[in-house]
Amino acid sequence: MPDGPANLAGAWARLLVDGLAEAGVTRAVVSPGSRSTPLVLALAGHPAIETTVVLDERDAAFHALGRAKATGLPALALCTSGSAGSHYLPAAIEAATARVPLLLLTADRPPHAHLRDAPQTVQQSGMFGPFARAVFDLGPPDPRPAALRALRHAAALAAARTRFPEPGPVQLNAPFDKPLEPQPPNAADDELAAAIEQAGRGAGARFELPEGGPGERAQDALAAACAAARRGVIVAGPLPAWDTRARRAAGRLAAALGWPLLADAASQLRFGPLGDAGPDSRAGRVDLAWLEPRARARFRPDFVLQLGGVPAGRGYERLVAGEPELPRAVITRYGVADPFAPATLVVNADPAATLEALAARAAAFAPADPAWLAGWRALEAAAERALAEQAGDRDAPLGEAAAVRTALAALADGDALALSNSLPVRAVDLFAAADRRELAVFAQRGANGIDGLVAGAAGFAAASGRRTLLLIGDLAFQHGLGGLAVARACPVPLAIVVLDNGGGRLFEMLPLADGGVSPALFERFFLAPQALDAAAAAAAFGVPHAAAATPRELDRALAAALARPGATVVTGRIAGAGAAAAWRALAARVAELLDR
C-alpha cells in the first residue's frame, strides 16, 4: 500500500495486542524472529503484559503452557513465520488434551509470498490441525475502520475460545508485509491513528463463561448411585492447580459418606487440608490395592465415583477394565475421562459444585460399611510402616522410594510439586503419603508425554510465585534440556531433581519386562540408558548443579536449591535394582502386614 500509512504494521500489531490485554491476557512468551517484529514491539512496550523471551519455540510454548496451568488464564506464545510455529505442536497437543487455555500467535508472510517458493513461507493457518479449538487468520493489516473494529473483536473472541466451550489452544495467524520496523510517519499515519482511536473507544466485546453446576437429573442419578453403595470410593484423577475448591468439596463428601478418597498425585487432592474429612480418609496407593488379584478382591468397591481426568495408577486400569460391570460415575468438566470401560454415568459439570450438591444430600444415604474405610486406612498404615522399614540409614545408597520421600519432605506449605510423566508421577502415588501441606501440583497429564517438562515447570513456578520442585527422570530431563535456558531466570526457587536411574525404568513395571524379549533388546530399545553429564549440561546453561547419592546428601542439596531463586539441577544417583523391585518388595511386605 504505497500511499497508505507508513506504520500500518506496527499500529495494527498494537491494536491486536491491546485487544488481547483487554481480553485478559497478561503473560506472553516470545521467540525471536524477523516477521514477528511488529508484534514483538507491541508486546515489549505493553504495560499490562509480562513478556518473557525463550529462544526455542518448543520450550517457549511449554513455558506458556505452564503459566496457563498455574492460573487457568490464557497465556500467549509468539513466533516468527515458516517452520517456527510447527515447534508449538507438542504443547498444542498437551493444551488440547489437558484442556489448558493457550494462544499461539504465528507471524506469517503476506499472501502474495505464498506458493512462490518464498523463503520462510509455509502454509501456517491451521497448522495445528484438530488440536486447535479455533483458527483466526487475521489477514494483512487493513486501515479501514471496519477492519480495525473487527481486529479488536477477533482478539477478544480468540481469548474467549481458549476457555469456552472447551479450553485448549487457539491459533492467531498474522501475516505482515514489509516494512516491519517503525518508519518515518506520513500524513496517512495521522488518519490511521484517529481511526484506531475511534475503534478503541468504548468497552470491547466481553464473553462471560457459563456456570458449570450439575443439573437436577444428574444430581438425582449420582445421589441414587451413592445411596445404594456400601463400599464406595471416590477416585480423583488430574485436576487443575488453579482451582482447589474440589479438594474441600471432596473432603466433605468423603466424610459424609464414610468412603476413602483415593487421590492421584496430580489431583490437587493428595496434599492440602481436606476440611471435615482429615488426612486419614485419603489414600493413593491404588496399585497396592487393585493391581494384583488377591488384593483386588479385598479392596473391591461396589461403586466408584471418579473426579477429573484419568488416574495414573495401573491398578485403577486393572480394576475398571477387569470388571466392566462395576457401577461407576465420572464427574469431569470436559470429555469423558473413561478409556478403560464404559462408565455407568458421565457428568460434564464443575466437580466442586457437583460434589457440594451431593454432600448436601448425603445425610439421607445409608451409612457405609465401617470396616470399609478402616481397611483402606490399614493399607495406608501398612505401606507407611513398610517404607519406614526399608528406609534404613540416611547415608545408605539412594533408591527411588527414598528419593521421592526425601524430595517431598523438603517442601513446605505453599510450595509446588512438578511431576514428570512415566515413573515420577507413579512413584509419588506409590511411595508418598497424603498430608495437609498445601502443595500445588503441576503435571502434563493430557497427552502424558515427557517433552517440555523443564520449561513447563519453570512457567508454572514463575506464574504461581511458589517455590517449586520438579521430579523428572533422566530421559525426560534430556528431552527437555533446552528448558534450562528459561528455568535459569525463574524468579522463585526451582529445584530440578533428576532421578538418574539408568533409563526408562517404568518399562520394568510393564508386562514387557516379564519376558518376550531378550534382556539386551529390552535394555537397548526400552530402558535406553543415556550417558548425559547433567552437571556439564547444567553448566552450559549457567545453572547450578549438585549430586546426591544418599538421602542425607539429597536433603542438603534440596535445602540449598530451595533457598535461592532460579533453577538448580540436583542429580539423584539411584542405586539398586530399580522401582519395579522396590514395588514388588513393598507390595509383598504390605500384604504380609495386612494378613496379620
pTM score, two decimals? 0.94
pLDDT reading at 580 higher than 70 = yes
Mind giving me the DSSP string for 166-230? S--EEEEEEE-PSP-S-----HHHHHHHHHHHHHTSS-----PPPP-PPPHHHHHHHHHHHHH-S
Please identify, among 166, 199, 232, the residue that sits at the C-terminal boundary of a domain: 199
pLDDT reading at 98 higher than 80 = yes
Query: What pLDDT is attached to residue 273?
Result: 86
Sheet architecture: strand order including 75-79: 50-53, 27-30, 75-79, 102-108, 169-175, 134-137
Number of domains in the chain: 3
Residues sharing a CB contact under 8 Å with residue 424, sequence separation 6 or more, in sequence order: 404, 471, 472, 473, 499
- For residue 157, being part of any structural domain is answered with yes
Residues 422 and 305 in one domain: no
pLDDT reading at 279 higher than 60 = no
List pLDDT tens digits, range 415-429. Answer: 999 999 988 999 999
Three cell numbers written together for 134: 479455533
- For residue 298, being part of any structural domain is answered with yes
> Of 11, 47, 25, which Cα lies nearest the Cα of 104?
25
Banded pLDDT at 276 (limits 50, 70, 90): low
Residues 338 and 423 in one domain: no
- For residue 212, being part of any structural domain is answered with no
- For residue 567, being part of any structural domain is answered with yes
Residue identified by cell 500524513 is 187
% residues pLDDT > 70 (the chain): 98
Query: What pLDDT is attached to residue 25?
Result: 96
What is the average pLDDT across 69-82? 97
- For residue 329, being part of any structural domain is answered with yes
List pLDDT tens digits, range 534-547. Answer: 999 999 999 999 99
Residues 50 and 116 in one domain: yes
Banded pLDDT at 268 (limits 50, 70, 90): very high
Q: Domain of residue 451: give its range.
A: 392-595
pLDDT reading at 26 higher than 50 = yes
Banded pLDDT at 466 (limits 50, 70, 90): very high
Query: What pLDDT is attached to residue 115?
Result: 86
φ, ψ (nearest 5 deg) of residue 432: -115, 135
Distance CA 454, CA 60 (A): 11
What is the average pLDDT across 212-239? 92
Residues 68 and 118 in one domain: yes
- For residue 374, being part of any structural domain is answered with no
Residues 57 and 149 in one domain: yes
Query: What pLDDT is attached to residue 513?
Result: 67
pLDDT reading at 243 higher than 90 = no
Query: What pLDDT is attached to residue 28?
Result: 98
Domain containing 99 — which CATH number? 3.40.50.970
Residues 187 and 71 in one domain: yes
Distance CA 381, CA 525 (A): 38
Query: What pLDDT is attached to residue 372?
Result: 94
Residues 183 and 255 in one domain: no
Distance CA 378, CA 389 (A): 16
Find the farthest-apart pair of alpha carbons in the chain and give their distance in angstroms, rounded.
90
pLDDT reading at 125 higher than 80 = yes
- For residue 397, being part of any structural domain is answered with yes
- For residue 83, being part of any structural domain is answered with yes
pLDDT reading at 2 higher than 70 = no
Dihedral of CA 240/246/251/254: which sign?
Answer: negative
In the chain, DSSP finds a helix count (H) and a strand count (E) of: 22, 18
φ, ψ (nearest 5 deg) of residue 524: -70, -45
Residues 153 and 20 in one domain: yes
Residues 162 and 271 in one domain: no
What is the average pLDDT across 300-306? 96
Residues 538 and 500 in one domain: yes
Instruction: For residue 279, count other CB atoms closer than 10 A to its CB.
Output: 18
| Of 390-399, 448-457, 521-530, highest mean pLDDT | 448-457
Three cell numbers written together for 453: 517438562
Specify whether the CB–CB gap between 407 and 470 falls below 8 A: no
pLDDT reading at 585 higher than 60 = yes
> Of 44, 51, 52, 35, which Cα lies nearest the Cα of 14?
44
Please identify, among 165, 199, 233, the residue that sits at the C-terminal boundary of a domain: 199
Q: Pick 227 or 204 by higher pLDDT.
A: 227
Residues 233 and 288 in one domain: yes
Distance CA 354, CA 331 (A): 8
Please identify, among 144, 168, 199, the residue that sits at the C-terminal boundary of a domain: 199
The rounded radius of gyration (Å) of the Cα atoms in the chain is 26
List pLDDT tens digits, range 159-195. Answer: 999 999 999 999 999 999 999 999 999 999 999 999 9
pLDDT reading at 405 higher than 70 = yes
> Of 114, 72, 374, which Cα lies nearest the Cα of 231?
374
The conformation of residue 162, written as its DSSP 8-state character, comes to T
Domain containing 340 — which CATH number? 3.40.50.1220
pLDDT reading at 1 higher than 50 = no
Residues 345 and 405 in one domain: no
pLDDT reading at 474 higher than 80 = yes
